[in-house]
Structure 1
Amino acid sequence: MKSDLDSPLAEQVKRALHLPLPRTLKRVEVLDYISEYKDEPMHNSSILELAKLDFNLLQRLHLKELKDLSRWWEDISREVGLTYSRDRIVECYLWSYMTYYEQEYTRARMIFSKIISLMAMTDDTYDVRATLMECKQLDEAIQRWEESAVSLLPEYLQKFYLKLISTFKEFEDELKPNEKYRVPYSTKAFQIFSSKHLQEAEWFHQNHKPRFNDHVEVSICSAAPCACVCLLVGMGDTATKEALEWALGCTDAVRACAVVTRFMNDLAAFKQGKNKYDVHTSVECYINEHGVASDVAFANIGSMMEDAWKTTNQARFERPEILPAIQRVANITISMMFWYDDHKDAFTYSNIIEGTIRRLFVNPIPF
């Protein structure tokens, strides 16, 4: 069928067959469509020029934010000295950008990017550097969430912990008086994030392979729900107390986001092969528990992800009072299709998406 189509429709059909439009990263699709629009017989040159101008103006803002964030990252990296933590500040910003790219969300993007980077540093500590005892000490300190808890930690984690606490205080200072109530929700979400990582660390150090459902219940709460709460902190009127309670409760669309995030990550990890720091993936747990081949596990887990997408769509219809928050959570879910396209992990191996990053943030669209 595609061979009978003219350009640019043929290219658009090809992309849609690879990934349905509702699951496509909108800003990347915008870039593709702008480059193709001129080839449409009925195109309007004025609309095309305005679209290019709009994208380039926003790109300048995004590049400035990325520069400011990079300076913040350099300062915090030098201060805390966690040399084992990977430099992924561009990827952290991209994740935030995928959630909300619009001009009015500068504050939200910057806060969310910083939280994601702190989550990544915490994740690297649990997964790569800390002993099991140090993992327990770090989680205990995070559960207490007070500067005096720094005495619980080994010396190499003390500066990081103090910086974690002070950064969240800085977020509170950035918010208006009637918005400050949001920060305790984000700290609670970070505490849940930490406790789930501790459970995974215990499994790893004990070489324990959990049952599939046990693995899922822990691992889906290890990142995405925290992100779903924290993305709301810097937003405007969307971040109501009702929306924050909903996000922290990890129900419907938030849980669906967590399921898609976890399974997309695990499918990619299984395809690539484990390294020595990896816990057992949900794919391995499913294969071990059900005694099936990997292709069967992939198919069944894929079916679970499809159910999660249905849950996301259902939440949009059933929760109109918090629809703007649901849509931002859905954007995170959609972003997983970008990060793990073709079962590749572009968040860890960002060279895969270097060209896309340049198109989004560095290279303006030529006129």
Structure 2
Amino acid sequence: MNSSTGQGNVPRRRNADHVPSIWDPQFIMSLTAPYTYEDEHAARLEVLKEDAKSLIAATSMEDPRDLLKLIDTIQRLGVAYHFEKEIKVALHLVHAYIPTDLYHTALQFRLLRGNGFSISSDVFNKFTDKDGKFMDNLREDVAGLLSLFEAAHLGIPGEDVLEEAKSFSRNHLNLLTGKLESNIAEQVRQSLDVPLHRRMVRSEARNFIEAYQRDSAKSSVLLELAKLDYNVLQATYLKELKELAEWWEDINFKEKLPFGRDRLIECHIVAVGSISNPQFSQGRKNAAKFCAIGTYVDDVYDNYGSIDELEKFIEALDRWDIKVMEELPEYMKVCYLALYNSVDEVVQDASKHLDLDVLPYVKDTWIAYCKGMLKEAQWNQSGYMPTFDEYLKNAWISIGALVLLTISYFGISESITEYLPHCIENWSTSELFYQTCLISRLVDDLMTSKAEMERGETVNSIRCYMIQHDVSEEEAQDDMEGLISYSWKKLNEMVVHNSYPLPMVKLAMDTAQCVHRIYKYGDFFATQTTQAKIDCVRKLLFESIPME
């Protein structure tokens, strides 16, 4: 698989032997959705939403504990985006409430802090002794411990009581797991595996709907609303996917660039995970296109291109002229043209909706992404092993989440237009960009480092950390988990201190949650046949929830 660089020399090409996609575009085009935002489904949705508003209003007049539980249920069912005003009013009502038990104290803390309301972690001091340890009489309170464990993940740096809460609740939940009834035992298992604060919104909606319908205290209105809303939103995602599949067939990367990963569906799931609300369809498609093209560009830099070619590609991006691609090797022309056209779509969409020229921002982050990958290619091809600190300085950019965030912000920016230019211009010093990208990089490396090293890519965070700190692979992985937790605290801090508009931080968190989901069972962009991944794809995009 050799090709000339145009200078008379023929570089050695590496082929990572990526397996083909199991999701054929023709299969995607053949799918139909039984539920849409049309006809009787749209009418029924409106009725259910009005009934749910009445339920919120009625509960607001009753016990604050019931209102807290209702807000939590609505959010976990994935329908909170219909009731933003009602939920904000309800949260104002429960803000002044002072719970006395652990369960409701932790639930109130999680809901208020997660929705941008001010609340101190000092609310948990009443459950600790003079040494700051949680009291022994809480050890058997399963609901309270589970609520405390979930709340503890919304901590910020320096909140020692929440670190103690996390350790205390985790330890005692682990001790109780063998004694619990099946439903609560499954909830505990899922939370210890992945806490709520790190779960992808649409995956959690499907998961919670299935659990909620077994709850004897469920609301039939909320359950029907959640099921129908999930199904019609899924139909929107499927419509987008069909459009993307047609575009993907037209640019024909699969045939023109056989060395790369054909991962359109995976890329659409990343877009859905980052931008889930139905009104942001164009933003989702733009994000999915970046991921699909970016995955191939990543393979060019990781495996296929010579250093000279990789540098020329960056020069071509900097000049940003369709004529420049004639100076590139044939396989790079394919990448450049697709990239150029996809960025033009983002620019045109933003110009129409925002009256803002976003080309400089998108181009700048694309160039930074490619420069980051170039640095890694130079390390790999020369055999140089950077220190861990040197690696991270580059790797938070080379993961590609920077471009994804930039494009995604332009896709949801109607409500944050005035903030965007400043935030995007200063991406290189932005904590919001850095912490989200760092989470993406470290989660990716935790799950993919072994496979990368087997195919010759020796530079990753685990390997660099092991060498710099002279520790085992297991110790390095534990420390990476610690760094990921700290980055989550920094994101939480941005909510607490109103560092950015809440929609911006929320999108960053949604992106980080998506990364946790897709790498939960291995390398989401490599593996094709694991049942966990197939189930994830089918439930998110293809299989509707049965309606009674």
Give TM-score, length-normalised by structure 1.
Answer: 0.93
Structure 2 residue 213 is matched with structure 1 residue 34: no
Q: Which moved more, 1:274-283 or 1:99-108?
A: 274-283
Equivalent runs, 1:72-111 vs 2, <5 Å: 72-77=247-252, 81-111=256-286
**2 CA distance for matches of 1:80 and 1:152?**
22
Cα pair distance change 1:292/1:236, threshold 3 Å: closer
**2 CA distance for matches of 1:333 and 1:14?**
21
Structure 2 residue 453 is matched with structure 1 residue 274: yes
* Maintained 8 Å contact 1:229/1:244: no
* Maintained 8 Å contact 2:275/2:408: no
**1 CA distance for matches of 2:499 and 2:390?**
32
* Maintained 8 Å contact 1:147/1:162: yes
Equivalent runs, 1:60-139 vs 2, <5 Å: 60-77=235-252, 81-139=256-314
* Maintained 8 Å contact 2:322/2:340: yes
Cα pair distance change 1:177/1:24, threshold 3 Å: closer
Cα pair distance change 1:79/1:46, threshold 3 Å: closer
In structure 1, the partner of 2:484 is 305
Note the C-alpha offset of 1:243. 3.1
Note the C-alpha offset of 1:253. 2.5
Cα pair distance change 1:130/1:277, threshold 3 Å: farther
**What is the DSSP-based 3-state SS (H/G/I as helix, E as strand, rest coil) of the residue aligned with 2:440?**
helix
Note the C-alpha offset of 1:264. 1.3
List alignment gaps of at least 5 residues for structure 1.
none
In structure 1, the partner of 2:62 is none
Q: Which residue of 499, 513, 537 maps to 1:357?
A: 537
**2 CA distance for matches of 1:130 and 1:66?**
30
Q: Which amino acid aligns with 1:212?
A: F
**2 CA distance for matches of 1:93 and 1:320?**
30
* Maintained 8 Å contact 1:204/1:278: yes
Cα pair distance change 1:318/1:262, threshold 3 Å: same
Q: Which amino acid aligns with 1:207?
A: G
Cα pair distance change 1:280/1:338, threshold 3 Å: same
* Maintained 8 Å contact 2:286/2:346: yes
Q: Which residue of 220, 228, 235 maps to 2:405?
A: 228
Q: Which moved more, 1:146-155 or 1:118-127?
A: 146-155
Structure 2 residue 420 is matched with structure 1 residue 240: no
Equivalent runs, 1:130-169 vs 2, <5 Å: 130-169=305-344
* Maintained 8 Å contact 1:312/1:330: yes
Q: Which residue of 374, 382, 394 maps to 1:206?
A: 382
Greater radius of gyration (CA): 2
Q: Which amino acid aligns with 1:363?
A: E
**2 CA distance for matches of 1:361 and 1:112?**
17
Note the C-alpha offset of 1:273. 5.8
Q: Which residue of 460, 463, 474 maps to 1:284?
A: 463
RMSD between superposed Cα atoms in Å? 2.0
Note the C-alpha offset of 1:240. 2.4
Q: Deviations over 1:251-305 (max 9, x none)?
A: 2222111111111111212344623342411111111122221122122222211
Aligned residues: 366
Note the C-alpha offset of 1:192. 0.7
* Maintained 8 Å contact 1:253/1:330: no
Note the C-alpha offset of 1:38. 2.2
**What is the DSSP-based 3-state SS (H/G/I as helix, E as strand, rest coil) of the residue aligned with 2:453?**
coil
Q: Which moved more, 1:197-206 or 1:33-42?
A: 33-42
**What is the DSSP-based 3-state SS (H/G/I as helix, E as strand, rest coil) of the residue aligned with 2:414?**
coil
Q: Which amino acid aligns with 2:537?
A: I
**2 CA distance for matches of 1:280 and 1:159?**
28
Note the C-alpha offset of 1:318. 2.2
* Maintained 8 Å contact 2:362/2:406: yes
Note the C-alpha offset of 1:217. 0.5
Q: Which moved more, 1:259-268 or 1:161-170?
A: 161-170
In structure 1, the partner of 2:44 is none
Note the C-alpha offset of 1:211. 1.1
**1 CA distance for matches of 2:253 and 2:467?**
43
Note the C-alpha offset of 1:152. 3.1
Cα pair distance change 1:363/1:242, threshold 3 Å: same
**2 CA distance for matches of 1:271 and 1:118?**
24
In structure 2, the partner of 1:219 is 395
Note the C-alpha offset of 1:322. 2.0
Cα pair distance change 1:32/1:166, threshold 3 Å: closer
**1 CA distance for matches of 2:188 and 2:195?**
10
In structure 1, the partner of 2:171 is none
Q: Which amino acid aligns with 1:157?
A: M
* Maintained 8 Å contact 2:286/2:342: no
Cα pair distance change 1:322/1:278, threshold 3 Å: same
**What is the DSSP-based 3-state SS (H/G/I as helix, E as strand, rest coil) of the residue aligned with 1:231?**
helix
Cα pair distance change 1:80/1:262, threshold 3 Å: same
Cα pair distance change 1:7/1:44, threshold 3 Å: farther
Cα pair distance change 1:224/1:79, threshold 3 Å: closer
Note the C-alpha offset of 1:126. 0.8
* Maintained 8 Å contact 1:232/1:238: no
Q: Which residue of 259, 268, 280 maps to 2:438?
A: 259
* Maintained 8 Å contact 2:439/2:484: yes
Cα pair distance change 1:319/1:179, threshold 3 Å: farther
Give TM-score, length-normalised by structure 2.
Answer: 0.63
* Maintained 8 Å contact 1:200/1:279: no
Structure 2 residue 366 is matched with structure 1 residue 190: yes
Q: Deviations over 1:291-332 (max 9, x none)?
A: 221122122222211111111101122235522111101111
Q: Deviations over 1:11-67 (max 9, x none)?
A: 222111111111111211211221122221212223212211111111111111111
In structure 2, the partner of 1:348 is 526
**What is the DSSP-based 3-state SS (H/G/I as helix, E as strand, rest coil) of the residue aligned with 1:351?**
coil
Q: Which moved more, 1:29-38 or 1:357-366?
A: 29-38
Note the C-alpha offset of 1:195. 0.9
Q: Deviations over 1:70-108 (max 9, x none)?
A: 111111125982222211110111001001211111011
Q: Which amino acid aligns with 2:275?
A: Y
**What is the DSSP-based 3-state SS (H/G/I as helix, E as strand, rest coil) of the residue aligned with 1:221?**
helix
